[in-house]
Homo-oligomer: A and B are copies of this chain.
Amino acid sequence: MEQLIEKIKNEGSVLSSSVLKVDTFLNHQIDPQLMLAIGKEFAKRFDGCGITRILTIESSGIAPAVMAGMHLNVPVVFARKRKSLTLVNDLLTASVYSFTKQETSEISVSNKYLSENDKVLIIDDFLANGQAAIGLAEIVCQAKASVSGIGIVIEKGFQEGGSILRERGYRVESLAIINSLENGIIQFDQSPVGKAEITR
């Protein structure tokens, strides 16, 4: 997605060979017009898939997910990383290991908001090791619903998350794929739109 790639080129900051900071428009400050375009692009890519619900995870997944939900006209559910006081019963949970934080956390979704008839689009801001997406897919599975696809804003193609998810048969659509952050340079995957999903 050209608009997103330009934004990353102009505003992304390489903190190390594995960490890209995009706090100016996605993870701390949010650019609502870009989120609108991102939501529209997800809706276009998953149009006709019969999506009934979007599942994301707090906090940075919420903005792109809500914009996609607006375009697809379906509700959005966000998994919580911490327990809520008013959300205590009938939880679907999964353990998610964070390589960067080196800790395991439990994510949870009320079973009220996922049912076996749901065709779920999972959306997240980043795909690196894939642990969050796998956890969200596990929750969909627990609800006996089906995963129609996984929409990612920025995939770090040099980490294994994308391969793991695609090998498991999930359709993963990443709006920007970064192949390397070595030497402080952001190198994008040059495959044409859609090709990444076929060849990777």
| Residues of A participating in the B interface, judged by any CB pair closer than 8 Å | 15, 19, 21, 23-25, 27-33, 35-36, 58-59, 62-63, 65-67, 69-70, 73-78, 80, 84-87, 100-101, 109-110, 112-113
Q: Is the CB of A76 within 8 A of B15?
A: no
- Determine which residue in A28, A76, A113 has the highest number of CB atoms from chain B within 10 A of its CB, and name it: A28
Q: Are B30 and A76 in contact (CB under 8 A)?
A: yes
In Å, the complex CA distance between A80 and B28 comes to 8
Can you list 19 A-B contacts with CB-CB less than 8 angstroms, sorted by A residue number? A23-B87, A24-B113, A27-B87, A28-B110, A29-B77, A30-B62, A30-B65, A32-B66, A32-B69, A32-B73, A32-B74, A33-B73, A59-B62, A59-B78, A59-B80, A62-B62, A62-B66, A85-B100, A85-B101
New A-B contacts (13) at CB < 8 Å, excluding given A23-B110, A32-B76: A21-B86, A29-B76, A29-B77, A29-B113, A30-B62, A30-B65, A30-B69, A30-B76, A30-B78, A33-B70, A35-B66, A58-B59, A66-B67
